[in-house]
Every structure is written in structure tokens, then in C-alpha cells.
Amino acid sequence: MNASPYLETALRAAKSAEAVIRRYWDQGVDVTLKADDSPVTQADIAAEEVIRSTILDKFPEHGFYGEESGKTRQEAELQWLIDPIDGTKSFIRRTPFFSTQIALWQDNEGILGVSNAPLYGELAWAERGRGSFINERRVWVSEVTSLSNAAISLGNIKSLAKSPAWLQLAEIVAQVDRTRGYGDFCHYHMLAAGQIDLVIESDLNILDVAALSVIVEEAGGVMTQLDGKPLGLESTSVLAAATAELHAETLAHLKIS
């Protein structure tokens, strides 16, 4: 693989964070609650610290937006978006569905994404225009174009359950071939690899999916908000599909404005 200096640094940061995360996984962690009642552990904080130092030692002029440390150099053209442990609740409960998310964005668009799920055994990455890879194997989305042939995975749908969109989602579920709920990084890796065809998710933060959006799109997929608008720093939902046709059909059913 002929990686750019940006990707080389992101991969090195992800592996350094993995060493930290594995150490805390083995020894256990104390859990505290943040102001929004979401859990945080010393593993989250320490992993972000090593990612931050790895990236900013190499690119001190870049901006940095971390889940635990917040934003610095917001005026910079190149911004790193980091979630050191996306899936902290899974980490706490000792299930392998958590990952380290590292993205590089330019002009509000992702140009690089690394998603490392060490206990699950997958390292995914992509650079804009250079394809998507999982464990060094090039991956592509499926060719499914209709809901009737699609396998869908749902995640974090609590806000949809409280809204009129719940009935619209029911229409979609009634039409698809299979319904699953892999969640977190997992269903985006599977989408990029052609193992499922559609993901609907709400109640998230852009840091959860900034890297994954590059990976899905470079595998040939389409990834937007649930209203069809492009992902941005304020996004809280995702509609990701293997093909433009499947995305359009799903969006027509959702009718979210």
C-alpha cells in the first residue's frame, strides 16, 4: 500500500491507541459520567491523548476535534475528527463492538478515514480517490438496488421511535429481505464489504461516523443524513446505502425534512 503521510500517521495513531485500549481491556477500568450522562473511562482519555500527540507532533498546524478533549485550531483548513473509543458502553460491558475512529476532513468533507476495531479483529481505512480496505483487502459495496433485495441494519433508533418517521421506517422494514442491528462501526464495515446493503441510524455524533463515511463512499456506497443532506459537523443521523438507487428508494420512504 502506497499510503500518504496523512494515512501513515492516522494508522500509526490508531495502532498506538490500540495498545492503550488493550491494556485497559485486560486490567479493567473505572467508569464516570460526563455532563450528558454518557460514560467515559480512563481508556477513552488515554487513547485520545496518544492519538492527539501522534497526529499533532507530525502536523502541528492542523485542527483537532476529539470526543474527550474538544476542539483546537478550528480555523485550520485540515481538521482531524477523533473518537478514541466509539462504543464505550460495549467496551465497559466487555463486548467487542467498539472501535477507534480517526478522520481527516477538509472543507467540511472527509478525505481520510481509519476505523480500528481491535477486539473484533478489523482495521479499515480509506483515502479519497484511492479505495477502501479492511485488513489490507480492497473492499466494495454490493450491487443491490432495491429494498426488496436488501439487508438492512439499524442502530440507535430511539429518536426515530419517538417521531412520525417510526411508521415510515416500519414501511421500509416490511419491504427489505433481512433486518439486523449490528450497530456501531460493525454495520458500516459490513456495508463497505458488501455483506449488507443499507444502514439507518440516529442519535449519533459526527465523530462516530466521520471516518466511516469515507470508508463507505470509497467502497462505492452513498452516505448522507436521514434527510438526504450531506454529512457535516452537526449531523446526528445516517442513511447509508450500497447504491444510489437503493439510497433514493429508501429516502423516498423516509420523507424526513
Q: What is the pLDDT of residues 28-78, one digit of tens each?
A: 878 888 878 788 889 999 999 999 999 999 999 999 999 999 999 989 999
- Give dist(CA 7, CA 20) in Å, integer: 20
Q: Report the distance separating Cα 124 and Cα 5, nearest Å.
A: 17
| Count of other CB atoms within 10 angstroms of residue 24 | 17
27 pLDDT band, cuts 50/70/90, is confident
Identical fold, 5-139 and 147-254 = no
* pLDDT at 1 (0 to 100): 62
pLDDT bin (cut points 50, 70, 90) of residue 160 is confident
Measured on CA atoms in the order 162, 168, 174, 179, is the torsion positive or negative? negative
Mean pLDDT score of the chain: 94
Helix and strand numbers (H, E) in the chain are 8, 15
CATH architecture of 5-139: 2-Layer Sandwich (3.30)
**Is the CATH number 3.40.190.80 carried by domain 147-254?**
yes
Q: Where are the domains of the chain?
A: 5-139, 147-254
State mean pLDDT over 3-23.
96
What pTM, to 2 d.p., does this model score? Answer: 0.95
- C-alpha cell recorded at residue 43: 481508556
Find cell 469515507 and name the residue.
Answer: 214
pLDDT per residue as tens digits for the range 96-134: 999 999 999 998 899 999 999 999 999 999 999 999 999
Round to whole Å and give the CA distance between 205 and 237.
8
